[in-house]
């Protein structure tokens, strides 16, 4: 698609490096990873070696010190891999979990963990969602009580991406059940192997099958007091703050997926013959694909414009909510048409378009369902 005027030469070089990595080291293995149900750690370490896991983090810790636009490029190119499970595994690590440490960690905490996070030696997960709490962060029921110089955590966490793969969990728990959730929730750093922390089960999903999703149990998990992340009682606002970055990158990922689907579908319909001509010769097909292309181009422009505004320090909650709602629905419309125009071939397990259709469905659910996002927009109209 048309290049964005916001981009610098550094952005374009970064995008080209990512695109080569995806072409050489991701797409050829997507089917194998899908069957295995996981992304090999070696791939994530390779991304760390290439500088892809610390795009916006300081150079002092091994990061690239780039900007919000670079994050959008990263998410978009991972989406274009055609392997949603790979994309979300990396994006949770870089843009949904580790930012909690970057934004609220003490100098000691950052020095202890960030170099390994950026290098891909420690994979991160964020444990907020529970059976009764997703976008409704105020519904968190996991608790933490102070016992001497430790906090003791109890509760359940559900739908945790990287829950099995992860080495470091950023866990939300109520530290004051009498206070409002917005003032009584705290974030904690919990290392894998901590006594009482366990994976209750690895969940089976219809899509993103190469990304692990788990239910975690917190059973008297003792966390040293110096593993509190940010202010005691400040967890609610930390979660809400990072929702904006999370939803921006999910929108960019979705539009990367849509672009890839359109690319492979255009190749298919221009080659596939039916009734004496190619499918591309059928007006209804080429006009439908043209319409979807126009919609994706418009949504993509909104994403990049919003990223530039966020980088400038503007409040973009309304625009980010619009991106999440719009792109989560649009990617599914694109996938529906692209699979339809692949015919029976597109319904066969193991084809790229069939995998992408399954992967895209969650984009209208995870990270803030469309209906929740529309309410966020409505509040600001």
- Is residue 186 pLDDT above 90, yes or no? yes
The torsion angle over the Cα atoms of residues 336, 341, 347 and 351, rounded to 10 degrees, is -100
Q: pLDDT grade, residue 132 (50/70/90)?
A: confident
pLDDT > 90? residue 306: yes
In this structure, what are the phi and psi dihedrals at residue 147, rounded to the nearest 5 degrees? Answer: -135, 95
Q: What is the mean pLDDT of residues 112-121?
A: 97
- Higher pLDDT residue, 2 or 186? 186
Average pLDDT over residues 167-190: 94
Active site residues: 246
**Position of tokens 């990595």?**
21
Q: Average pLDDT of the chain?
A: 96
Q: Give the pLDDT confidence of 7-52 residue by residue, as tens digits.
A: 999 999 999 999 999 999 999 999 999 999 999 999 999 999 999 9
What phi and psi, each to the nearest 5 degrees, are found at residue 217?
A: -110, 135
Confidence of residue 5 (pLDDT cuts 50, 70, 90): confident
Q: What is the DSSP string of 172-203?
A: EEES-TTS-HHHHEEEEEEETT-TTEEEEEEP
pLDDT tens, residue by residue, 274-286: 999 999 999 999 9
In the predicted structure, residue 133 carries a pLDDT above the cut 80: no
How far is residue 222's CA from residue 190's CA, in Å, rounded to a whole number?
9
Nearest to 238 by CA among 183, 197, 307: 183
Question: Which CATH code is given to the segment(s) 237-379?
Answer: 1.20.140.10
- In this structure, which CATH number among 3.40.50.720, 1.10.10.10, 1.10.540.10, 3.40.228.10 belongs to the domain 9-123? 1.10.540.10
Higher pLDDT, 138 or 318: 318
- Tell me how far the alpha carbon of residue 315 is from its chain's centroid: 21
Backbone angles phi, psi at 156, to 5 degrees: -130, 140
Residue 1 confidence class, pLDDT cut points 50, 70, 90? confident
What residues does each domain of the chain span?
Answer: 9-123, 125-233, 237-379
Enter the pTM of the model: 0.95
Of 5, 22, 10, 12, the C-alpha closest to 77 is 22
Any idea which architecture 125-233 has in CATH?
Beta Barrel (2.40)
Find residue 277's DSSP bridge partners: 274
Q: What is the pLDDT of residues 138-175, one digit of tens each?
A: 889 999 999 999 999 999 999 999 999 999 999 999 99
Whether the per-residue pLDDT at 83 is higher than 80: the answer is yes
d(C-alpha 174, C-alpha 235), whole Å = 9
Can you name the residues that pair with 125 across neighbouring β-strands? Answer: 169
The per-residue pLDDT for 61 is 87
Beta strand extents in the chain (DSSP E only): 124-127, 143-147, 150-161, 168-174, 185-191, 197-202, 213-224, 228-229, 273-274, 277-278
């Amino acid at each position: 698609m048309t290049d964005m005027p916001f981009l610098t030469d550094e952005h374009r070089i970064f995008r080209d490096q990512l695109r080569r990595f995806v072409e050489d080291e991701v797409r050829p293995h997507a089917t194998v990873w899908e069957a295995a149900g996981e992304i090999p750690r070696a791939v994530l370490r390779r991304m760390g070696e290439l500088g892809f896991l610390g795009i916006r983090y300081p150079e002092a810790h091994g990061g690239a010190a780039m900007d919000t636009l670079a994050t959008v490029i990263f998410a978009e190119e991972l989406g274009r891999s055609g392997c949603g499970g790979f994309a979300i595994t990396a994006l949770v690590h870089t843009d949904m979990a580790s930012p909690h440490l970057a934004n609220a960690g003490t100098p000691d905490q950052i020095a202890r963990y960030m170099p390994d996070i950026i290098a891909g030696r420690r994979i991160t997960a964020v444990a907020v969602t529970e059976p009764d709490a997703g976008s409704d962060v105020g519904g968190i029921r996991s608790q933490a009580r102070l016992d001497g110089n430790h906090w003791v955590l109890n509760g359940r966490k559900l739908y945790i991406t990287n829950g099995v793969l992860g080495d470091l969990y950023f866990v939300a728990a109520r530290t004051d059940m009498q206070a409002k959730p917005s003032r009584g929730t705290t974030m904690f750093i919990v290392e894998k192997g901590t006594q009482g922390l366990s994976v209750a089960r690895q969940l089976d999903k219809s899509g993103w099958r190469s990304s692990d999703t788990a239910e975690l149990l917190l059973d008297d998990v003792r966390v040293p007091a110096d593993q509190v992340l940010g202010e005691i009682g400040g967890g609610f606002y930390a979660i809400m703050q990072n929702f904006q970055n999370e939803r921006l990158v999910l929108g960019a990922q979705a539009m990367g997926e849509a672009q890839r689907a359109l690319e492979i579908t255009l190749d298919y319909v221009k080659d596939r013959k039916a009734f004496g001509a190619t499918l591309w010769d059928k007006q209804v097909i080429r006009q439908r694909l043209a319409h979807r292309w126009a919609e994706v181009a418009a949504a993509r422009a909104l994403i990049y414009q919003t990223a530039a505004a966020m980088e400038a320090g503007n409040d973009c909650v309304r625009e980010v909510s619009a991106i999440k709602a719009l792109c989560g629905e649009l990617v599914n419309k694109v996938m529906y048409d692209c699979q339809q125009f692949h015919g029976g071939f597109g319904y066969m397990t193991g084809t790229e378009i069939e995998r992408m259709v399954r992967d895209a469905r969650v984009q209208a659910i995870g990270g803030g369902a469309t209906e929740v996002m529309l309410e966020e927009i409505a509040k600001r109209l």
